[in-house]
Amino acid sequence: MSKIEIEDEAGANRPAISADDNDAVAEIGQGHVDVVDEAAEEAAREQLRREREARAQALTLEIVGDLPYAEVKPPENVLFVCKLNPVTEDEDLDLIFSRFGKIISCEVIRDKRTKDSLQYAFIEFENQKDCEQAYFKMQGVLIDDHRIHVDFSQSVSRLSDTWRSATNSKRAKQEGGFGGIAHLEKKRQYRAADPKPDTRKSDGIHGEADTKILSETVLQGGTQEVEVVAPGTSIIEDAMHRLLDEHVMTAMDVGSIEGLLDKLNLTSHEDGVPAEAPSEEDLKNLREKYIKADQDQVFAFYDDLSTADKAILYERLASINPIHINEITERALNPPEPSGIKGETKLEPLPESALASILDSKPEDINSWYESGLDLVVEGKVAVVLMAGGQGTRLGSSAPKGCFNIGLPSEKSLFQIQAERIWKIQQLAEKKSGKKNIVVPWYVMTSGPTRKPTEQFFEEHKYFGLGKDDVTIFEQGILPCISNDGKILLESKSKVAVAPDGNGGIYQALLTSNVRTDMRKRGIQHIHAYCVDNCLVKVADPVFIGFAASKEVDIATKVVRKRNAKEPVGLILCKNGKPDVVEYSEIDSATAEAKDSKQPDLLKYRAANIVNHYYSFKFLESIEEWVHKLPHHVARKKIPYIDTETGETVKPDKPNGIKLEQFVFDVFPMLSLDKFASMEVKREDEFSPLKNAKGTGEDDPDSSKKDILDQGKRWIQSAGATVTSEGGPLSDGVEVSPLVSYGGEGLDFLKGKDIKAPAVIEKEE
């Protein structure tokens, strides 16, 4: 430490200072001065700068009370998780995070009085490595429709004194120095090593830029002006700790914390900019709209919200037309009588002119459809729309369902499998035509909760080999959740409870996005649309495209044969003279069991809907003319909400409200029969839905995996290879990569070979 002497001014009275005073001054580490040799290496200067910065952070934590003193070393195996859904429980987080390693403790922090979740938690792992893995893997993941933020805990205020004694270098070893500095610096290195840009949009703080504020802090009965350095989200963590710990509440009251957060612009505003409350005039106009619709309960807590939360609530409410919501809710709860004779519903199979079956058609017809469909791909007239708005909640995953790995030997996700099928179709088209750079554009429809994770997943996997400009990710709409008495529900005091508008929201999404504009520029004329959860889907199937184009229809759909009369599936048929889908619950047992007069061994009504459709672009260009006529349907659900009378969060144990949704097939009855067609395909080749958690035995990851492996086994056996296996049903198949074969073609190189299952065929060898 350098020593600087300054001569006293003439006549100055120099007070006496005791030796004890000198010792006290010497012990104040905050005032030490480090001398930097200008000739030192740049790396050394940078290291010193970082140590100073880390020291400042440690001192800040000491000042506000989260560290007993700056020398404490924060834990290396504890994660701080925030932005949780209020309904997320300790057990939910434990289940999700335990896949990274053994968890010692997992606690969602709650208000001491109301026991409501404060929407953040601490998760303590048994070892540091597992903690680091969870940090890198769980950043931005969706849990209960909320995108969480994960950080290494910088606070020890909630940890036991036993832990502090065991880990604190001063207590354990009676040594001085800044015990916590190296760890704080290490965490900065973790962030630097993270390949994803740390934009911190949801916090209103960008990158690593530190925000300095002056906060009035009450310390030991006195008021001081303290310069606080707020690196990233750690200040949020600190603030919330101080609110909860009784021994710190005397140091900083709730009002000071709220002012601190406002100054830092710590908001969940999606654009990451400081949120601004609406003007009095704008707020008045919006309130009047909701009062007119008898929905003004949504403003119950508005006046007590922070500026940021007021902006969030206002923005959401301004995007909703409450009168329209009342109208569609009433129509959904009390649908109008169907056209025709009141109370009478006439059902018939689709006419033969609208039907085709891969099971019964002549090989030459199938080949003709394939060739004509592939020609349309060559001409750049085919596009694909994927409906991928669902999360894998039932599968035990909070990620978008398309990210799910069903357990194949290759460990490919549903997104990757489908992307590789598009890539293969492009290659087949190039091979047939001799042209290069043939493209089948892929339009991926997500929901609010799945959009960003889907975008991140595609970025991380480099779009699975497809051109980034040829993949468009867009978002379906949302609708507010409604109570049983018709009121819009609040998820929290500043958030409306909302839900995606169903797969029928595809039409409104196409209308409001730039998808049709892009299709128009590309010259698209034929669109294949399907759901993400079908691992066997033949994406951009030339046979299907060729069949529909040859019929010159506006919509065509793939179906599979119903297994038996009691299988609970929707059926595609003719209802009151129009193409339609009739749910299993709408058909009586006599109708369900009726036999086909021409083929008595088959059911009369057997065309099971698998949500696999064709659209002409001409038809989609007319969305504006009919989208407002599509009905909404009621799904009765258990919806957590804030009681506007008490302000308490309610988690119902029985359905307490409805979610409004539309179905993709709601548009079918708007067509005449000559503009609609249906193609029957083999279930074992084209339909294996993923609906349930592993171990349920039906439509689960194991059944999806088995269906793909069984299909690959059939393909290579047809190519002249043999398959041997000593394992069970889940290990006696073969995975054939879509990059090698789209539908069983191109496997002649396997003729005469013996393949030991389970196996993966990833390239020609």
Query: pLDDT digit string (tens) for 19-56?
Result: 444 443 333 333 344 444 555 567 677 777 766 666 66
pLDDT of 281 higher than 60 = yes
pLDDT tens-digit readout, 697-719: 889 999 999 999 999 999 999 99
pLDDT band for position 466 (cuts 50, 70, 90): very high
Q: Which of 26-40, 200-214, 660-674 has the highest mean pLDDT?
A: 660-674
Over 50: is that where the pLDDT of 17 sits?
no
In percent, how much of the chain has pLDDT > 90?
A: 59
Cβ contacts of 41 within 8 Å, gap of 6 or more: none
As a whole number, mean pLDDT of residues 298-320 equals 94
Are 90 and 106 in contact by the 8 Å Cβ rule? The answer is yes
- Which tokens is 3 given? 């020593």
pLDDT tops 80 at residue 587: yes
* CATH classification number, 41-251, choose in 3.10.105.10, 3.40.50.300, 1.20.1070.10, 3.30.70.330: 3.30.70.330
Residue with the bigger pLDDT between 237 and 614: it is 614
pLDDT category of residue 219 using cuts at 50, 70 and 90: very low
Nearest to 109 by CA among 177, 174, 157, 45: 157
pLDDT given for residue 339 in this prediction? 57
Q: Residue 495 pLDDT more than 50?
A: yes
Number of other CB atoms surrounding residue 40 within 10 Å? 11
What is the structure's pLDDT at 533?
96
Binning pLDDT at 50, 70 and 90, where does residue 136 land? confident
**Average of pLDDT values for 178-207?**
38
CB contact at 8 A, 225 and 212: no
pLDDT recorded at residue 276? 77
Determine what percent of the chain is predicted with pLDDT higher than 70: 74
Is there a contact between 377 and 366 (Cβ–Cβ < 8 Å)? no
SS3 at position 523: coil
CA distances from 510 to 451, 504, 513, 623, 630 (A): 15, 11, 5, 8, 14
Asked whether the beta carbons of 407 and 701 are under 8 A apart, the reply is yes
pLDDT at residue 489 greater than cutoff 50: yes
Burial grade of 731 (CB within 10 A; 0-12, 13-18, 19 or more): middle
| Residue owning tokens 């007119």 | 292
CATH class of 347-691: alpha beta
Q: What is the CA 376 to chain-centroid distance, rounded? A: 34
What is the predicted pLDDT for the residue at 139? 85
Amino acid 74: pLDDT: 64
Whole-model pTM? Answer: 0.67
Q: Are 440 and 527 in contact (CB under 8 A)?
A: no
For residue 293, what are the contacts with CB-CB under 8 A and spacing of at least 6?
322, 323, 325, 326
For residues 94-123, average pLDDT = 87
pLDDT digits (tens, 9 = 90+) for 511-553: 999 999 999 999 999 999 999 999 999 999 999 999 999 999 9
Task: Please tell me the number of Cα atoms within 13 Å of 572 on its side-chain side.
Answer: 30
> How, if at all, do strands 146-147 and 142-143 pair?
antiparallel
Residue 406 has which token pair?
């069903």
What pLDDT was estimated at residue 556? 98
Residue 398 half-sphere exposure toward CB, CA atoms < 13 A:
23
pLDDT at 26: 36
The token pair at 657 is: 């409200």
**Residue 253 CA to its chain's centroid (Å):** 36
Residue 692: pLDDT over 80: yes
Lowest mean pLDDT, pick from 289-303, 406-420, 618-632, 729-743:
729-743
- Statement: residue 449 has pLDDT above 90: no
Tell me what pLDDT residue 9 has: 45
pLDDT, residue 115, reads: 82
What pLDDT was estimated at residue 395?
Answer: 82
* Mean pLDDT score, 596-619: 96
Contacts with 444 (C-beta within 8 Å, 6 or more apart), sequence order = 386, 388, 402, 454, 458, 471, 472, 473, 474
Q: What is the mean pLDDT of the chain?
A: 80
Q: What is the 3-state secondary structure (H, E, C) of 603-650?
A: ECCCEEEEEEEEEEHHHHCCHHHHHHHCCCEEEEECCCEECCCCCCEE
Structure confidence at residue 58 (pLDDT): 57
- Do 152 and 463 touch, CB atoms closer than 8 A? no
Q: What is the pLDDT of residues 427-436, one digit of tens each?
A: 999 999 999 9
* Confidence check: pLDDT of 226 > 60: no
pLDDT at res. 152: 85
Give me the residues paired with residue 123 across strands: 79, 106
349-370 burial: b if 16+ Cβ within 10 Å, else e = bbeeebebebeebeeebbebbb
The angle that helices 42-64 and 234-244 make with each other, rounded to 10 degrees, is 20
Lowest mean per-residue pLDDT among 205-209, 487-491, 562-566, 648-652? 205-209
- Per-residue pLDDT at 695: 86
- The secondary structure element, H or E, covering residue 658 is strand 657-661
Pull the structure tokens for residue 347.
């059902």
CATH 3.90.550.10 spans which residues of the chain? 347-691
- Give residue 297's identity as a one-letter amino acid code: Q
pLDDT of residue 398: 80
Which of the four pLDDT bands, split at 50, 70 and 90, describes residue 205? very low
Q: What is the pLDDT of residue 73?
A: 56
Tens digit of each residue's pLDDT (9 = 90 or more) over 378-416: 999 999 999 999 887 778 788 899 999 999 999 999 999
149 versus 340: the higher-pLDDT residue is: 149
Yes or no: say if 642 and 648 are a contact pair by the CB < 8 Å rule: yes
Query: What pLDDT, on a 0 to 100 scale, did the predictor assign at position 137?
Result: 84
- Kindly list the distances between the CA atom of residue 269 and the CA atoms of 60, 146, 211, 310, 313, in Å, as whole numbers in the listed order: 27, 14, 18, 11, 10
Q: Which residues of 299-334 are buried (b: 16+ CB within 10 A; e: fewer)?
A: bebbeebbbbbbbbbbebbeebebeebbebbeebee
Amino acid 16: pLDDT: 43
Residues of the chain within CATH 3.30.70.330 domain(s) are 41-251
Per-residue pLDDT at 198: 38
CA atoms within 13 A on the CB side of 215: 29
* pLDDT at residue number 4: 36
pLDDT band at 658 (very low <50, low <70, confident <90, very high): very high
155 near 72, Cβ under 8 Å? no
Q: At what angle do helices 280-292 and 322-333 cross, to 10 degrees?
A: 20
DSSP 740: T
Answer whether the bond into residue 758 is a cis peptide, omega within 30°. Answer: yes
Residues 470-475 have a mean pLDDT of: 97
Question: For the chain, how many residues are written?
Answer: 765
Mean pLDDT within 323-344: 81
Q: How far apart are CA 501 and CA 390, in angstroms?
A: 11
Contact yes or no for 161/54 (Cβ under 8 A): no
Determine the pLDDT at residue 60. Answer: 56
Q: Please give the backbone phi and psi of residue 527, each rounded to the nearest 5 degrees, phi first.
A: -125, 130
User: Comparing 63 with 655, which gets the higher pLDDT?
Assistant: 655
Cα-trace Rg, the chain? 32
What is d(CA 80, CA 558) in angstroms, rounded to the nearest whole number?
47
Q: How far is CA 181 from CA 74, 178, 389, in A?
A: 9, 6, 44
Q: What is the pLDDT of residue 178?
A: 32
* C-alpha atoms less than 13 angstroms from C-alpha of 389 in its C-beta half-sphere: 20
- Which amino acid does the sequence have at 56? A
- The per-residue pLDDT for 69 is 44
- Res 143: pLDDT: 82
